Amino acid sequence: MSNSKAALEKIEPIFGSSFTLRRFTETQNQPFWHCHPEYEIVFISNGKGKRHIGDHISYYEDGDLIFLGPDLPHFSFTQGLNEEHVEIVVQMRGDFLGAEFLGRPEMQAIQQLFERSKQGLTFRGETKRYIGRLLEDMVPLNGFDRLMALLRTLHLMATSDEYELLNVSGYALEVNAQDHDRMKTIYEYVEAFFRDEVNLDEAARRINMTTPAFCRYFKRLTAKTFTQFVNEFRVAHACRLLFDEHISIAGVSYESGFNNLSHFNKQFREITGVSPREYRKSRMMIVN
């Protein structure tokens, strides 16, 4: 289990409700790398964006429906999303209906959903579209009707097979403002320069560390080397580009910061388990 540190986001349910539901039409200025003890449902109506949750990085196409367990550090899912979109966020404690509620026989499927969410879940297909409409319909509701709609949403998520586990590694979180700022600086550096050269010494300099100290610090924070992190970031970007059939595999490699095609193929297979060509073929067969 790795130790990661993030800014704690404090979430207060509105008066008269045991959970929060918020609707946004613009990207929100959330803490850049943050966590909270609540379970979280995030629906993004459309557009392309990035999932960065714990040590997991991937892209979504045509919106997303995500369910996260508590204390998983993550970045805003609409960061850099330029298309007009609707984002709905639901947050609830595990005991939001009482400590014994999830133990009831009727709640067994939802209890299993909550357990799966600790690795991060993303939903696709008709489940994503239908639950998105349900969440939109929940916005004007109040009190009992909103609660019943949430339980129905959770039940549909729990019984759907249209989901993928993101396999986020376990985290033991400590809230530390200095580490939050450092991670933000490192992330911004990689995001700005991943297509070109990302330099280990420069990354260390940006957070005022020597290179050996930075290597130890980054490994302790993320349970991976800085080079692994950069390669995963580049491969995640490549996954997004592979949706476009008009870009060659070599072009995807170059646009993702890999100047050597064989190195790109090797890194892509190590990180995703398939070759870029196999990944492109499999994604083209999926109807979102």
Digit-coded pLDDT (tens) for 55-76: 677 888 889 999 999 878 787 8
Please tell me the pTM assigned to this model: 0.69
Model pLDDT, residue 39: 93
Model pLDDT, residue 109: 94
Mean pLDDT along residues 139-161: 94
pLDDT of 3 above 60: no
226-241 vs 261-272: helix crossing angle, rounded to 10: 100
Model pLDDT, residue 284: 64
Look over the chain and give the mean of its residue pLDDT values, rounded to a whole number. Answer: 84
Q: For residues 228-263, b (16+ Cβ closer than 10 Å) or e, as one string?
A: bbbbbbbbbbbbbbbeeeebebeebbbebbbeeeee
pLDDT of 94 above 90: no
Of 145, 157, 166, the closest CA to residue 114 belongs to: 157
Model pLDDT, residue 170: 53
Instruction: Please list the alpha-helical segments (H only) found in 24-170.
Output: 108-116, 125-138, 143-159
Domains of the chain: 7-165 (2.60.120.280), 177-284 (1.10.10.60)
More confident residue, 12 or 228: 228
- Any idea which residue has 């109040």 for tokens? 142
pLDDT of 241 above 80: yes
Phi (first) and psi of residue 231, to 5 degrees: -65, -40
Percentage with pLDDT > 70 across the chain? 85
Model pLDDT, residue 135: 96
pLDDT of 4 above 50: no
Q: With H, G, I as helix, E, B as strand and everything else as coil, classify residue 235.
A: helix
Q: With H, G, I as helix, E, B as strand and everything else as coil, classify residue 249.
A: helix
More confident residue, 126 or 166: 126
Long-range CB contacts (< 8 A, 24+ apart) of 207-210? 207/182
Residue 238's H or E segment, with its range, is helix 226-241
